[in-house]
Amino acid sequence: MGGYHKLEIYRLSHSLALKVHKLSLTLPKFEMYEEGSQIRRSSKSVSSNIVEGFALRKYKNEYLHYLYRSYGSSEETLEHLRYLFETESFDDESQYESLAKEYRKLNAMIFNFIMSVERSFETPAFLADLEDLKPDA
């Protein structure tokens, strides 16, 4: 596989979303549709925004927009994890600590990736060449 699958931030965010999804299905019934639903959406939004941004990477500002949204969703997921743990709806401390650590690592990776794009963005050559294929208006 190529494209966004090569990005470590994508692979880690996708893997974490699968873990969070599985965890959310073990929550007490009253949390299943409240925090459970929220954390599933925010965790899946991280990788989804990376994918959408990657598809629009020809345009620096669009790419950055989706990367920042991904970063925000990752921070949001960490906040939902915290709520679930502090309200004791999710009480496996070692699993909580492990997931929180992985999300903090992911947040740092996404932030560093954003800084890298901001510093050294270049439209991929094959995408820039697409402009030459547009019919004259």
> What is d(CA 130, CA 7) in angstroms, rounded to the nearest whole number?
23
**Could you tell me which residues come within 8 angstroms of residue 96 by beta carbon, excluding any fewer than 6 positions away?**
81, 84, 85, 90
**Could you tell me if residue 124 is inside a domain?**
no
pTM of the model: 0.86
**Could you tell me if residue 133 is inside a domain?**
no
pLDDT tens for each residue of 12-46: 999 999 999 999 999 999 998 899 999 999 999 99
**Could you tell me if residue 132 is inside a domain?**
no
The three-point CA angle 34-20-96 to 5° equals 95
Contact 67, 50 (CB under 8 A): yes
Domain membership of residue 64 as a residue range: 3-118
**Could you tell me if residue 134 is inside a domain?**
no
**Could you tell me if residue 81 is inside a domain?**
yes
**Could you tell me if residue 55 is inside a domain?**
yes
Contact 125, 28 (CB under 8 A): no
pLDDT tens for each residue of 51-106: 999 999 889 999 999 999 999 999 999 999 999 999 999 999 999 999 999 999 99
Closest by CA to 39, choosing from 103, 98, 97, 94, is: 103
Question: What CATH code is carried by the domain that includes residue 72?
Answer: 1.20.1440.60
Q: What are phi and psi of 45, to 5 degrees?
A: -65, -30
Tell me the residue ranges of DSSP E strands in the chain.
Answer: none
How many domains does the chain contain in total?
1
**Could you tell me if residue 37 is inside a domain?**
yes
